Amino acid sequence: MESEKRSLYEKFDDGVMSVVNKGVRVWNWTTGRTKADLANTLVYTGGAAVPAGCFIRGWPVAGSILAAIYLPGSIFSSKANKKYEELEVTAMEKGLMDQRVENRKEDSRKLGNQIGAIGIIQIYPNVVPTLEKTIGDYTCFSGMEAIALSYYVMRADYLPPRKNVLSRAKDKLVELLNQAEQVPQPAMVPVNYVGK
């Protein structure tokens, strides 16, 4: 009955978060790094792509203004991501929830949606129908969506850092080789066979 009362947006948001959680698990399993590392990678990529899109479009003044906003904003956001991840880990170790982290997750939900919508405007054909879409527009769009995705990533479940997949594969290979060395080799036993 409760699921019937949920809005379409809540169902959409839950679906997106399900995919994001799986993506964060893949990131952690492959790289061994945490969700804050992934979010920061997205923030830096997006923070560089948005002004780059303006430069590509041939708008150096707009690109310079956006670079002055997005590049320092990326640094600020990445520091905040690390801070809130540390608060989340500390609370989890105590078996608690930190209200500051929960508030940040709610803010991230709102910001992720708003920034994602702004990014879509970059490529939506009816917003400025006289302008032909260029690679610059798609670069801005990609940057905005990367930043929006970073907010979703910070809402994902926390997974602790671990060895990356290549290190784990190497360790497993060394373990298997060590086990193979410890297995006694069968000895050749002469058999007296009398044939016909």
How many domains is the chain partitioned into structurally?
1
CB-CB contact of 119 with 70 (8 Å) = no
- Mean pLDDT for 84-108 is 93
Query: What does the pLDDT read at residue 178?
Result: 84
User: Under 8 Å CB-to-CB from 127, ≥6 apart: which residues?
Assistant: 121
Distance CA 89, CA 86 (A): 5
Q: Angle between the 35-57 and 60-93 helix axes, to the nearest 10 degrees?
A: 170
Residue 57 covered by a domain: yes
Residue 8 covered by a domain: no
For the stretch 142-188, pLDDT in tens is 999 999 999 999 999 999 999 999 999 999 999 888 887 776 767 67
3-state secondary structure 157-177: CCCCCCCCHHHHHHHHHHHHH
Residue 64 covered by a domain: yes
Domain that holds residue 112: 16-182
Residue 2 covered by a domain: no
Residue 161 CB neighbours (<10 A): 12
**Mean pLDDT for all residues in the chain:** 88
Residue 50 covered by a domain: yes
Residue 161 covered by a domain: yes
Residue 53 covered by a domain: yes
Query: What does the pLDDT read at residue 1?
Result: 45
CB-CB contact of 145 with 112 (8 Å) = no
Q: Is 192 a residue whose pLDDT tops 80?
A: no
Look-up: residue for tokens 């990529």?
A: 45
Q: What is the pTM of this model?
A: 0.81
Residue 192 covered by a domain: no
Distance CA 28, CA 38 (A): 9
User: Under 8 Å CB-to-CB from 144, ≥6 apart: which residues?
Assistant: 46, 50, 115, 116, 118, 119, 122
Query: What does the pLDDT read at residue 128?
Result: 59
CB-CB contact of 127 with 57 (8 Å) = no
For the stretch 54-86, pLDDT in tens is 999 899 999 999 999 999 999 999 999 999 999
CA distance to 20, 77, 112, 113, 180, per residue, from 7 (Å): 20, 30, 18, 15, 58
